[in-house]
Amino acid sequence: MNASPDLADAPRLAVVGAGPAGLFAADAILKKHPTALVDLIDQLPTPFGLARYGVAPDNLKMKSVLTTLTKILGRERLRFLGNVRYGSDVTWADLDRHYAGVIFATGAPATRSLGIPGEDLPGSEPAATLVSWYNGYPGHRHELPLGSVQEVAVIGAGNVALDVARLLVHDPDGLVHTDIPGDALELLSASEITDVHIIARRSPAFAKFSTAELREFDHIPNLDIRVRPEDFDFDSDAAEHLEANRNARLMVNLLKGWADAPPKETGRRVHFRFAERPTEIVGDERVAGIRLERRSGARSGETVLPVQMVLRSVGYRCVPLSELPFSAADGTVPHCAGRVTGFDGAAFVAGWAKRGPSGVIGTNKADAGETVDTLLKHLESRDVPHVGEDLLQVLRSRGCHVVSREDWTRIEALEMEVGAELGRDRVKVTELATLLAARHQPA
Ligand code: NAP
């Protein structure tokens, strides 16, 4: 950590999880405490979490947050310890011994299921699998069976549903200038998909789409956007919700505009279907359709949409962290203003592990700020405990291949090189072994 003499007594703090929540937490510590030293630990050899592996490659506006996160990663008094997994490479006892306080910002890595028959048929996947695949998450390279797919159902009315639907109907030429992995670009370029159906169980008034994300469909050339005018017959609940919620009104107006527009004769269509609940994924050996039930007055009834792929985009879920308490009721780590409760140790929580999988990347800034204030109050309230030897030495002695900030710059250089070979700016490296091998290359 290269502590200068005046930093000799500085508190050492750890943040587990190098996604936006973890980086914003590290940033807040460094800004608010004059001497604290921060170790940023992540199970992946790469930093940035969902900003690197969750934001769709064509969403350049959202990806621009990487510039901010890169600045934070480069701060003095911060060290990156990548490829270190909490629960196996390091335990709570290790962290407790080496740090005066630990913030867990480990996100919500699991996906929710629909709980309907047919969910396990080949061709039915969590949308997160597609997200990990087009974003090059290390180790997620099993080939997606897009080959014989013409129609896809995406279940859920959130921003992840919009992302995956948009990538599937995108003009592949429009993705060449992104960092999408080569194999994902090839498969999308060869795809025969003509129709993507986004299926929401409630009225458009309650969709969780952001208007900015919805608008992205307007930028895709030769795409017909189909919305059914009858989905806008609002009941009193929906009307009240719209009255009270400006963002929902803006979103609904955009959808209505598409509903009113004449259909375009194009090769690719995205369909928005509201107030339809999936009840079964049908098919013998693989997905052949999805059964939808509509309960909406005179329009009640059942339909089977003939799709060959179903992507379940109904939200993420947190998983219990080794040795820390977990609230099964709301799927988060129990806390009070960020301090983990019901636990005997200086453990704190930020981001989705703290509040559940909601909000956009920027939401994590204020959220992390609250946790850091609580952590700093905790430090003020006691003498900073003496912490043992440097965790890095311990990890190395255990044979753990820790990836440093300098190693990360080597990985970045490699991704630029791969990109240049393919005539692109940068292409993500997806193999874990290649990412780890880049540590040994000259910077
Ligand atoms: P989300 O926003 O929570 O949306 C989940 C959707 O699934 C909701 O429409 C929900 O409907 C529906 N759903 C849940 N259970 C269902 C079921 N059994 N059957 C049918 N539908 C069901 O989740 P998300 O899309 O995964 O996004 C997670 C977070 O990441 C959100 O905060 C999102 O804004 C953020 N995100 C942001 C961006 C961006 O800003 N570019 C991109 C991606 C993700 P109900 O409302 O009826 O429950």
Atom of ligand 1 nearest to the CA of 316: 26
Can you read off the two tokens belonging to residue 204?
A: 């458009």
Q: Is 314 in the pocket of ligand 1 (CB under 6 A)?
A: yes
Write out the E strands in 85-147.
101-104, 110-111, 124-126
The span from the CA of 286 to the CA of 276, in Å, is 22
Q: Which residue has the higher pLDDT, 174 or 17?
A: 17
User: Over 90: is that where the pLDDT of 37 sits?
Assistant: yes
Average pLDDT over residues 370-382: 93
The span from the CA of 91 to the CA of 179, in Å, is 34
The span from the CA of 18 to the CA of 129, in Å, is 21
Sequence letter at residue 404: S
Q: Is 140 in the pocket of ligand 1 (CB under 6 A)?
A: no
Tell me the pLDDT tens digit for each residue of 125-168.
999 999 999 999 997 666 677 888 999 999 999 999 999 999 99
Q: Is 196 helix (H, G, I), strand (E, B) or coil?
A: strand
The span from the CA of 101 to the CA of 95, in Å, is 8
What's the maximum distance between 2 C-alpha atoms anywhere in the chain? Answer: 77
Residue with CA nearest ligand 1 atom 15: 314
Please name the residues in contact with 380: beta carbons below 8 A apart, sequence gap of 6 or more.
none
Sequence letter at residue 113: S
Are 326 and 316 spatial neighbours (Cβ–Cβ below 8 Å)?
A: no
Among 272, 192, 172, 198, smallest CA distance to 228 is for 272
The single residue listed with the structure tokens 């219990």 is: 320
Residue with CA nearest ligand 1 atom 36: 159
Percentages (nearest 5) of helix, strand, coil residues in the chain = 40, 20, 45
Q: Could you tell me the distance, in angstroms and rounded to a whole number, from the CA of residue 274 to the centre of ligand 1? A: 14
Q: Could you tell me the distance, in angstroms and rounded to a whole number, from the CA of residue 312 to the centre of ligand 1? A: 10
Q: Could you tell me the distance, in angstroms and rounded to a whole number, from the CA of residue 162 to the centre of ligand 1? A: 10
Measured in degrees and rounded to the nearest 5, phi and psi for residue 341 equal -100, 160
Among 127, 137, 53, 59, smallest CA distance to 316 is for 127
Q: Could you tell me the distance, in angstroms and rounded to a whole number, from the CA of residue 6 to the centre of ligand 1? A: 48
The span from the CA of 46 to the CA of 54, in Å, is 13
**Mean pLDDT, all residues of the chain:** 93
The span from the CA of 353 to the CA of 321, in Å, is 9
Q: Could you tell me the distance, in angstroms and rounded to a whole number, from the CA of residue 111 to the centre of ligand 1? A: 11
Q: Could you tell me the distance, in angstroms and rounded to a whole number, from the CA of residue 347 to the centre of ligand 1? A: 29
Measured in degrees and rounded to the nearest 5, phi and psi for residue 17 equal 110, 110
Percent of the chain with pLDDT over 70: 95
Instruction: Give the DSSP letter of residue 224.
Output: E
The span from the CA of 127 to the CA of 167, in Å, is 11
Q: Which of 52, 65, 160 to mutate to test the pocket of ligand 1 (most atoms within 8 A of CB)?
A: 160
Among 152, 143, 134, 144, smallest CA distance to 193 is for 152
Tell me the pLDDT tens digit for each residue of 220-267.
999 999 999 999 999 999 999 999 999 999 999 999 999 999 999 999
Instruction: Give the DSSP letter of residue 131.
Output: H
Q: Is 158 helix (H, G, I), strand (E, B) or coil?
A: coil
CA distance readout (Å), 292 to 25, 198, 305: 43, 12, 8
Q: Could you tell me the distance, in angstroms and rounded to a whole number, from the CA of residue 195 to the centre of ligand 1? A: 21
Residue with CA nearest ligand 1 atom 38: 159
Residue with CA nearest ligand 1 atom 25: 158
Burial of 400 (0-12, 13-18, 19+ CB in 10 A): middle
Q: Is 135 in the pocket of ligand 1 (CB under 6 A)?
A: no
Compute the Cα dihedral for 190, 191, 194, 197 and give only its sign.
negative
Instruction: Give the DSSP letter of residue 305.
Output: E
Tell me the pLDDT tens digit for each residue of 379-432.
988 776 666 679 999 999 999 999 999 999 999 999 999 999 989 889 999 999
The span from the CA of 355 to the CA of 333, in Å, is 8
Judged by average pLDDT, the poorest of 52-66, 273-287, 291-305 is: 291-305
Q: Could you tell me the distance, in angstroms and rounded to a whole number, from the CA of residue 364 to the centre of ligand 1? A: 17
